[in-house]
Amino acid sequence: MTSVYPATVHKRSRFTKVVDTLEAYIRIDLVEERMFPASTIMRYLAVVFPVLLYYFQSTFLTISDELFMTMLIGAAVIAGLQDALTGLTGRLNFAMERGTLETYLVEPVPWALIPVAMNIWRSVTGALLACVMVALGWMLGGPVHAPGIPAALLVLFLGILACNALGSFAASFILLFKRGEPVVMLYSLAASVLGGALFPIEVLPVWIRWASYLVPHSYVIAAERRLLMPGMPAEGLSPLAATLILAGFTLVTFVAGLFVFDRSLRLARRLGILSI
């Protein structure tokens, strides 16, 4: 069966198709947010509890405000990147369960664009949650260096792109084998430790420390702490070095992730896994 599209669809420029696709997926996510308001509200309220946990823990243990903010920045980055990492696989599983994935694939847009479009809303909300956590920490007395905020947002954006790329690899695995959640969960747990969410990676044993440089979380967390807390000890990579390495990591993994996802879709189509 051949799908026939209006002539106006075929005449759209590639840029217009990209913008329309991103807008359409964001609209779908907004509709789903309104369909389940209680779930949405609880998701945003849930970020308050980790902040209060670290705050009261630091008060009980008489930990300084600087150390409290150090832990909170790491936890905020992990929470923000987690949505970017798992949003695509969750959305893909949801579409496969409802039988709507094939509907997305017959649209006249490049398949490599689908991972970006499917996960753009969760990526934005994940970044917003990370910012809210840091803002709550600042309201509770944690020190934040305001001039470093623009650069910190740029680093967070790069980290979200890197995690989107890694999520594309996991989504490719799900397309072909219908399973992938354990892999993503294991990586998320490893990244929270190796990324140094609650401590600098310098305290890790030498035999495992090298693995920290394989996950984007370590670069994001290190740069965020140095940018938002200039009083931090000058250990490890500088914010500029971390940002440049993260940018290179993001570029390579993003291109490779989209390529692998596109090839996985084509292979799934040839194998009959997808009914298109």
Confidence band for 180, pLDDT divided at 50, 70 and 90: low
pLDDT-derived band at 150 (thresholds 50, 70, 90) equals very high
- Residue 3 pLDDT exceeds 70: no
Main-chain dihedrals φ then ψ at residue 113, nearest 5 degrees: -80, -20
The confidence score (pLDDT) of residue 1 equals 39
Token readout for 63 is 């930990």
**Residue 214 confidence (pLDDT) above 50:** yes
Rounded Cα gap, residues 34 and 45, in angstroms = 16
Which ranges of 142-230 does DSSP label H, i.e. alpha helix? Answer: 149-177, 181-194, 206-209, 216-228
Query: How confident is residue 276, by pLDDT bands cut at 50, 70 and 90?
Result: low
Q: Return the domain boundaries, the chain.
A: 15-21+33-271
What's the pTM? Answer: 0.84
Q: Dump pLDDT digits (tens) for 80-115.
A: 888 888 877 777 777 777 766 777 677 666 667 777
